Amino acid sequence: MENVKYLLVDANYYLFRNRFALGGGKRFNEGELLGSFILTLNKIRKEVNPGKIILSWDKTPYWKLEGLSDYKADRVTSSDIINDLNLKLQDKTLSKEEIDNIKFQLEQAKIDQDNFETTQHVKYSLIKYGDQFGLPSLIKQGVESDDFGYFISKYISESDIGYGAVASSDDDWRWNITDKCYWFNSRKSEFRLIDKTEQIEELIPLARDLNIPLFEYGQLYSVYYGNHNNVAPLPDNFINEVSFENFIKLYSEDKLKDTIAWKTFDSLNINKYYDICKPLIENVIHNTPAINMSSYWGFHRKYNINVYPNVVKSLINNLDESLYGNKEDLWDGIIENL
């Protein structure tokens, strides 16, 4: 594998994954979540060994709602659950056991809501101050972290800036693989790098044969079969008449215009947003410093994020001394400034 100069991390995915891992029915503080997130980044950094790291985030409302009104419409928030449970408590016919059960669920929902707010604060603290320690962010209203995965892959592939990688355990990110951009999948803590050629040979030989970019292939796959983001599959009568293989061929021959398939696909088309986000990408690609962990500790102190000493020590013990200096000296400096 070629040396990876730029690594885009699906920060939105990893931060919220760590949120649920820390939660488990109890509240956590900002320092615990931020510490957990930095440890995750450090594991990925050790595996990929990139020159620079960039974080990508979601920011609602998603622009895809313009063409797909049901896009991610089934996502239920803690606020929704709290409101629903409060309404249930107004039922005068409930038994004591039912009331106690609802109250327990309500307390858990409130804990989850508090953890969500904590997560949002950590997210926007990272976005606002992360570039001070070498972790710049890509965020734009309407754009998802998944979109930035494609944008970075496209930019790297079209530019003479070396090789890059995108890191996420979301399978949708496999569509970002190109001849100059790898996908790093850390699902179930199994860190492995998937080579572009192997991915094409195993999953999508037709895309290679018809010279369709993998990302477009992925969008077509979503349109034909539907996916977890509420992209509705094509009607059964269409699918029964047109196999997926022929569907892809029709697309490559530009024969899907004015069909339900094309309307849905066009709604997913994010190339129009690539040009809007390209200046942001160029800025982080060309103006991103190497990651600086010592500045990370200053970030904790300056913005009053409460890190428990054992969390800090855990972080120190996982650092690479060759990159960040002697652990004991760094630990003494942190304790002195907490």
Q: Which of 243, 271, 287 finishes a domain?
A: 287
- pLDDT score for 58: 93
Residue 175 domain-assigned (yes or no): yes
Residue 286 has pLDDT above 70, yes or no: yes
327: pLDDT confidence band, cut at 50, 70 and 90? very low
| 148 and 64 within one domain | yes
Residue 184 domain-assigned (yes or no): yes
Q: Are strands 181-185 and 52-56 parallel, antiparallel or unpaired?
A: unpaired
Domain that holds residue 253: 4-73+127-287
Most distant pair of Cα atoms in the chain: their distance:
71
Residue 324 domain-assigned (yes or no): no
10, 56 Cβ separation under 8 angstroms: yes
Residue 49 domain-assigned (yes or no): yes
Residue 239 domain-assigned (yes or no): yes
φ, ψ at 186 (rounded to 5°): -110, 25
Among 233-237, 271-275, 327-331, top mean pLDDT goes to: 271-275
262: pLDDT confidence band, cut at 50, 70 and 90? confident
| 261 and 143 within one domain | yes
Q: Which of 254, 271, 287 finishes a domain?
A: 287
Look up residue 253 and give its DSSP letter.
T
User: pTM for this one?
Assistant: 0.79
How many structural domains is the chain composed of? Answer: 2
Q: What is the CATH number of the domain that holds 177?
A: 3.40.50.1010
Q: Are strands 137-138 and 4-9 parallel, antiparallel or unpaired?
A: unpaired
| 249 and 161 within one domain | yes
Q: pLDDT tens across 193-205, in order?
A: 555 545 445 556 6
Residue 315 domain-assigned (yes or no): no
| 143 and 106 within one domain | no
Higher pLDDT, 292 or 179: 179
| 273 and 186 within one domain | yes
10: pLDDT confidence band, cut at 50, 70 and 90? very high
Mean pLDDT of the chain: 78
Tell me, what amino acid is at 187?
R
Q: pLDDT tens across 39-84, in order?
A: 888 888 888 888 889 999 999 888 777 767 777 767 778 888 888 8
- pLDDT score for 191: 46
Q: pLDDT tens across 70-119, in order?
A: 777 677 788 888 888 888 888 889 899 999 998 999 999 899 899 999 99
| 44 and 188 within one domain | yes
| 236 and 109 within one domain | no
- pLDDT score for 247: 85
| 215 and 90 within one domain | no
